Amino acid sequence: MRLLRDDLNLYPNLEAPSLFWRSASYQTILAVSAFSRFFIYALNRTEVHGLPRFLDLLKSRADYKTRRRGLLTVSNHISVMDEPLIWGVLPLSFAAFHGYMNHRWSFGSHDICFKNAFTSHFFTLGQTLPTHRSAHSPFGGPYQATLTEGIRLLSKISATKQALCPVNNPHFHKDYRHPQWPWDCVDPFSDITLPPSYPSQPNDVRWYLSPSRYASNSYSWVHIFPEGMIHQATDKTMRYFKWGVARLILEPPECPDVVPMFIEGTDQVMHESRTFPRFLPRIGNNISVAFGKELDVEAVFGDLRKRWRDLADRHAREAGLPGWDEAILGLVPENLANHPEAVELRKECTKRVREAVLEVRRSRGLPDEDPKNGVVETWMREGPKREGLMDDGTWVKDT
């Protein structure tokens, strides 16, 4: 704990990125939104459910200075095109006017979306954070640096406070160097000489914009696909949800609003069984995006969050501190990460999130799933094969 409080780990926050960065990001998101909207409405048949209610929620969050909690949207994952196609349902005029500094942050695979300088800049400007997949990287899992960014994005960010960024410490890097644009995906016109940035893992060759160090990103909107991989099934069932979503709910000081969603039809746009030309999305499909009602987070998650905070306070006192400190927000000590009570809390939280998405699924007239689909032990029977056609007839792809 003393190392985490070393002055070398503290970095200043800023109010907002430079006008250059904000403009580039805004235009990137609008361009992708325009393409997505054209694709799903002009080249496919798309229906949306619950959109007016969701737009009202986004509109109420347009000014970052008046937001009082983050927003977490959660959905099933059935296609490599889910992100960004599903956000094409937002009217372009709405995205242009109410979406400025108010668009979603998402997670993208580091080894796919961030493999070179061009794609790294594109996805960073598109508000996608580099995430490591455990099957492809030793730095994967629910405690990686990008999950820390996600937790902090769902929290209050102050421009007058310093941020604790231990992964930025030169001691963590074999060949440390200052982040510099354009090699690194950082704001080239930052108000501070070391622009707010972080490496997705200690040996990363590229540094990325750290959105959690800008007050303008306070209580942001984060979207996550908790299945962590594409699952295409004819009966539209879901895989188990992974623990990362539980961290995004349990650990921010204020519980974010949670809106469950259910997607249909995008699996036909880019089905995993597609043949040549495999890289082209298919047209003429029926797509559906359903937004569930905003959850009563205190009723659904309040007891779990209280137990988590009590556990964190108890752990801090055992470490000789007066209690849990927001200075370490998003950082979980190893012994607390693997604490049996903490594990059970994450399991239960993840189960409740999945149940909320299942409720939206039921609203689409689909029958109840087998409860065993929600537990990891069921899917372990697939064996070591992680992608392609499975024995049960479903198609799976790691993302």
Could you tell me the domains of the chain?
Answer: 3-298 (3.40.1130)
| CA distance linking residue 299 with residue 12, whole number of Å | 36
pLDDT in tens, 157-209: 999 999 999 888 888 888 888 999 999 999 999 999 999 999 999 889 999 99
CB atoms inside a 10 Å sphere around CB 266:
27
Evaluate the omega torsion of the peptide bond into residue 252 and state whether it is cis, within 30 degrees of 0: no
- Which tokens is 320 given? 């000789």
pLDDT value at residue 333: 84
In terms of Cα–Cα distance, which of 327, 41, 355 is closest to 163?
A: 327
pLDDT value at residue 392: 83
In terms of Cα–Cα distance, which of 225, 237, 226 is closest to 395?
A: 237
pLDDT value at residue 384: 67
pLDDT value at residue 173: 84
In terms of Cα–Cα distance, which of 297, 311, 380, 398 is closest to 74?
A: 297
pLDDT value at residue 182: 95
Our CA dihedral for 88, 93, 98, 101, rounded to 10 degrees, sits at: 70
pLDDT per 10-residue tile (average), the chain, 399 residues: 56 97 97 98 98 98 96 98 97 95 96 95 98 90 95 97 89 86 97 94 94 98 96 95 96 98 97 93 97 98 97 88 85 89 96 98 94 81 76 86
pLDDT value at residue 381: 63
**3-state secondary structure at position 369:** coil
pLDDT value at residue 23: 97
In terms of Cα–Cα distance, which of 333, 283, 288 is closest to 312?
A: 333
pLDDT value at residue 58: 98
pLDDT in tens, 27-59: 999 999 999 999 999 999 999 999 999 999 999
pLDDT value at residue 4: 47
| CA distance linking residue 128 with residue 106, whole number of Å | 5
Sorted by sequence, the CB contacts under 8 Å of residue 262 that are 6+ apart come out as 75, 76, 288, 289, 290, 292, 357, 360, 361, 363, 364
Cβ neighbourhood burial of 308 (10 Å; 0-12, 13-18, 19+): buried
| CA distance linking residue 321 with residue 184, whole number of Å | 37
SS3 assignment for 39-79 = HHHHCCEEEEECHHHHHHHHHHCCCCCCCCCCEEEECCCCC
Evaluate the omega torsion of the peptide bond into residue 166 and state whether it is cis, within 30 degrees of 0: no
- State the pTM of this model: 0.95
| CA distance linking residue 312 with residue 331, whole number of Å | 11
Beta bridge partners of 231: 396
pLDDT value at residue 322: 82
